[in-house]
Amino acid sequence: MPTKKTQTIALYFSVIIMAIASIFWVNGLILAWTAPTAVPPAGNVAAPLNVGSTGQSKAGGLILNTGGAATGLIVNSGNVGIGTAAPEQKLHIQGNVQIGQIGQSVSLLSLSNQQVISLPATSGNTQVTNLLSLSGPQNGRLYVGVYGANNGVWFQNSNSGVLSVNYPLLLNPNGGNVGIGTAAPGAKLHVAGTAGVDGIMFPDGTLQTTAGGASWSSEQTGCYEVYTGAWNTWVACNAGYVVTAVWFAGVGITHGHVRCCKIR
């Protein structure tokens, strides 16, 4: 059985071993510590984003929702600015905007939706085929879309809640000319194109390609009248039409009329 002296010696050895181990442990910590590269507070690590009420800024990029949450970002109140530190609206973008596939356009605003290929809806209360809609305090809303069948772009001014109700579409209500096929219209409505080929298509499928004030006759469907401008000036009917009447008018016979009717 160990004596009291033996127990005391064993205790001393245990203390000495623990002291030596502590010295090595502390020495390891000292050797692992790296001194700061700048005098504090310079060189401090930026504060992490938190839920506090104080505004924070981040110099690097911010990537959200890498885990695929159902809702990626919610801005509960206030304005959001992109390219500006003083947004004036709910979303204020300073610079160009592109919506759609990368590299499609470098225009000021590019909208793209490969699924939108239909004409505007004519009933219901939701327009789902448009790319863009513009509205004001009234019920009217201007919808803009594309029609894939002929690569056309359409505009439709309808009631935002009842799409079967349509409103006028005004072009230059304060004045100015409108050009079709020309960038320099010389009249209120200037239709440019190839003479005798391009013109105005009427509801019955008739294409008017001649100038001179043609008007449809209310007495006979499928006929129109051409004002010749002079009694000795002849105006030919459009293709598919024949002359059915000619008469002259004006004091001293200053002008003539030609009636053209569709061949049946």
Alpha carbons 262 and 203: distance in angstroms, whole number = 14
What pLDDT is attached to residue 159? 93
Alpha carbons 256 and 231: distance in angstroms, whole number = 5
Q: Are 205 and 262 contacting, i.e. CB atoms less than 8 angstroms apart?
A: no
Asked whether the whole model's pTM tops 0.75, one would answer: no
Q: In which residue are the tokens 């006929």 written?
A: 223
Judged by average pLDDT, the poorest of 40-49, 56-65, 110-119 is 110-119
DSSP 219-253: SSTTEEEEE-SSTT---PPPTTEEEEEEEEETTTT
Alpha carbons 158 and 164: distance in angstroms, whole number = 7
pLDDT digits (tens, 9 = 90+) for 8-40: 666 666 777 777 767 666 666 555 567 777 777
Alpha helices by DSSP H, the chain:
4-32
Domains of the chain by residue range: 84-169, 202-262
What pLDDT is attached to residue 251? 46
Residue 177 has pLDDT above 90, yes or no: yes
Alpha carbons 115 and 21: distance in angstroms, whole number = 73
What pLDDT is attached to residue 245? 75
CA angle (190 as vertex; 193, 240 as ends), nearest 5 = 50
What is the pLDDT averaged over residues 74-89?
90
